[in-house]
Chain A
Amino acid sequence: QVQLVQSGAEVKQPGASVKVSCKASGYTFTSYGFSWVRQAPGQGLEWVGWISTYNGDTNYAQKLQGRVTMTTDTSTSTAYMELRSLRSDDTAVYYCARDPPGDPPDYWGQGTLVTVSS
Chain B
Amino acid sequence: DIQMTQSPSSLSASVGDRVTITCRASQGISNYLAWYQQKPGKVPKLLIYAASTLQSGVPSRFSGSGSGTDFTLTINSLQPEDVATYYCHKYNSAPLTFGGGTKVEIK
Contacts and interface: CB of A to CB of B under 8 A. Distances in A.
Interface stretch (A70-78, A82-90, A104-112): A104-112
Contacts of B36: 45
Contacts of B46: 104-106
B98 A50 contact: no
Contact of B97 (A47, A59, A111): A47
Nearest to A107: B46
Interface residues of B, number: 23
B91 A104 contact: yes
Contacts of A111: 43
A104 to B, nearest CB: 4
A108 B43 contact: yes
Contacts of B1: 62
Given A106-B46, A110-B43, A111-B43, A47 B101 contact: no
B34 interface: yes
Contact of B94 (A59, A103, A105, A106): A59
A62 B96 CA distance: 11
Contacts of B94: 50, 59
Contacts of B101: 44-45
Contact of B44 (A50, A61, A95, A103): A95
A45 B86 CA distance: 10
B71 interface: no
Contact of B34 (A50, A62, A104, A109): A104
B96 A95 contact: no
A106 B44 contact: no
B89 interface: yes
Given A95-B43, A108-B44, A110-B43, A44 B89 contact: no
Contacts of B98: 37, 44-47
B59 interface: no
B43 A47 contact: no
Contacts of B43: 95, 108-111
